[in-house]
Structure 1
Amino acid sequence: MYRLLADAAMVAHFAFLLYLALGGFVAWRWRRTLWAHLAVVAWGVLSVVTGVECPLTHVEDWARRSAGQQGLTAGGFIDHYIEGVVYPEEYTNLARLGVTVLILFSYAGYVLRRQ
């Protein structure tokens, strides 16, 4: 049961990050989702600026350890699954910039589509 919970937290975390990057484009079709995306972006900025960890990170780490598996690395979800796996660690700021540009582009498109 703990492993299932850990896997569910991991999938939810990946879905959250996918929505963070692409949710602005979803708002092009479903306008009401813009508010949810703004909240997700606010959380993402808060976590990058202040270093506060996502509760999903704690849930997954606890569940993995309770299942007898290795927990997440000290840096959390991003350090464990993304940095050094999807892109080299030295490109973290470039990856953040890319996501920021993607979000800003999606918001610009949202505004243009509304006019």
Structure 2
Amino acid sequence: MFSLLVGHAAMALHFAFLSFVVLGGFWAWRWPRVWWVHLGVAVYALGIVIVDWPCALTEIENWSRVRTGRAVMEAGFLDHYLTGTLYPREHVLTSRVVVGVIVAVSWAGALWRARGRRRGCAVAGQGASAGSVRSR
């Protein structure tokens, strides 16, 4: 029972990780410090896909599958759960490009908002100092 729960938790964390890879940059629009976390997660995800780095969650889920008598995920999480379900097998590259574009747009928006905040703070700071000079 414990092995099955660990496997299901790893699967749920996989989906959460993947969701954060795709959409986490948009969180940085509201919370700019999240961008640094998202950068690390995105680089790790890119390494898994491009360089074929091992994924700890896949290893945990496969451990659970072996312990519970289920077949292991030979090709990994994405191929097992998403390829052929969320997008056709022949569009793997297209799906990766779409994810890359979404991440790039989210980062561009985060940068744009961060620059706007800095300009707003600079303008507000000038206004505050000008107001304090006038009151003297």
TM-score tier, shorter chain, comes to over 0.9
* TM-score, scaled to structure 2: 0.81
Are 2:65 and 1:64 aligned?
Answer: yes
RMSD: 0.9
Name the structure 2 match of 1:109.
109
How much does 1:92 deviate?
A: 0.5
The one-letter amino acid of 2:76's match is G
TM-score when normalising by structure 1: 0.95
Q: Secondary structure at the match of 2:25?
A: helix
Corresponding letter in the other structure for 2:77? F
What pairs up with 1:1-115 in 2 under 5 angstroms?
A: 1-72=2-73, 74-114=74-114, 115=116
Q: Are the equivalent residues in 2 in contact too, given 1:25–1:106 (CA < 8 A)?
A: yes
**Residue 70 of structure 1, CA deviation:** 2.4
Counterparts of 2:49 and 2:76 in 1: how far apart (Å)? 12
In structure 2, runs of 5+ residues without a counterpart are: 117-136
Identity over aligned pairs, percent: 40
Shift of 1:31: 1.1
The AA in structure 2 aligned to 1:62 is W
The total of aligned residue pairs comes to 114
Unaligned stretches of 5+ in structure 1? none
Deviation for aligned residue 1:69: 2.2
Tell me which structure has the larger Cα radius of gyration: 2
Structure 1 distance, partners of 2:46, 2:76, is 16
How far has the Cα of 1:24 moved from its partner? Answer: 0.3
Q: Which runs of 4+ in 1 moved over 4 A?
A: none
